[in-house]
Amino acid sequence: MKALILAAGLGTRLRPLTDDRPKALVEVCGRTMLERTLDTLSQAGISDFVVNVHHFAQKIVDFLADHDNFGFNIEISDESDLLRNTGGAIRHAAPYLSGEEMFLVHNVDIMSNLDIGWLTGRASSNGALATLAVSVRETSRYLLCDGAGRLVGWTNVKTGEVRTPYDNLDVTKCRKVAFSGIHVISGKIFDLLDDYPEEFSVIDLYLDLCKDYYIDCAECPGLELKDLGTAAAIAQVKA
C-alpha cells in the first residue's frame, strides 16, 4: 500500500518557524515532522510514499535527496503552481496513486498512537470508499455518523451549521466524532473527481458522496492525537 503524506500547507499557525521552511521540515524534538511521519508509517509496513509539496517545495525535495529518501521509495506530487487543499491534492497525486486498490492519506502535522495496521485492515474488509480514523474528543467541528458508523453529515457546534446530503437529518440521533486527518481511500475515488475544481477539501468531497457511497467513520477507542500545527503544541512533545 502507498501512503500520500500531505505536506504542502503554508503552516501559517507556525510562523515565524515557517517563514524560511515548509511546515514538514519544522523539527519536533530534533526530528522533522516529515521524518517522523515516514517513520510512523514505515512501522506499519509502508515503504512507498507520495509527498505533496508547495510552500518551500524545493527544500523538501532537497531534504529527501540529502537523506537518500530515508531508504524509501518516495515520489513528489508538485503543487508549486497552486495549493490545492486536501481533496485537490489527492486528485493531483493521481498519477502516482491510480491503479492502487487503496492508499493511505496522512497529514504531516499529525502525531498519534493510531494502529495503522488496524485501520488498513478495516479498510480492506469493509467495502467502504473511504475509511476515516475518528475519535470522540472535544472540538468545534464534528463529522456526523449513524449508529453503524456511516458518515451522514458534518456540523460546527459553535455556529450551529449542519451540512448533509440527507433531507431532514436528525442531528440529535447522530454520533459526533472528530476526524484525525488519517484515512484510507479506495482507488475507485479517482473515477469520481472529474467534476471537481483544482482546489477543494476532501471533507467536502466526502459529504458530497456519503449518501451514495459508504464512507466509514472508524472510531478508534483510546486514540491519542496531537496536532503539531502550533509552536505551543510542538513544545509539549517530549519525545
Q: What is the pLDDT of residue 44?
A: 94
Burial of 176 (0-12, 13-18, 19+ CB in 10 A): middle
Decide if 72 contacts 98 (C-beta within 8 A): no
Q: What is the pLDDT of residue 236?
A: 87
Overall residue count recorded for the chain in this entry: 239
Are β-strands 215-219 and 130-135 bridged in parallel, bridged antiparallel, or unpaired?
parallel
Please choose, from the candidates 203, 198, 153, the residue with its C-alpha nearest in 3D space to the C-alpha of residue 174. Answer: 153
Please choose, from the candidates 225, 206, 207, 229, the residue with its C-alpha nearest in 3D space to the C-alpha of residue 137. Answer: 225
Are β-strands 102-107 and 225-227 bridged in parallel, bridged antiparallel, or unpaired?
unpaired
Taking phi over 0 as left and psi of -120 to 50 as alpha, with beta for the rest, 152 belongs to alpha
Q: What is the pLDDT of residue 220?
A: 87
Query: pLDDT under 50 in the chain at which residues?
Result: none
Q: What is the pLDDT of residue 219?
A: 94
Burial of 119 (0-12, 13-18, 19+ CB in 10 A): buried
Q: What is the pLDDT of residue 222?
A: 85
Decide if 237 contacts 28 (C-beta within 8 A): yes
Domains and CATH numbers, the chain: 2-235 (3.90.550.10)
- What is the rounded CA–CA span in Å between residue 210 and residue 222? 26
Q: Residue 53's beta-bridge partner residues?
A: 78
Q: What is the pLDDT of residue 37?
A: 98
Angle, vertex CA 10, rays to CA 139 and CA 191, nearest 5: 80
Decide if 210 contacts 149 (C-beta within 8 A): no
| Amino acid at site 91 | R
Angle of helix 57-66 versus helix 33-42 axis, rounded to 10: 60
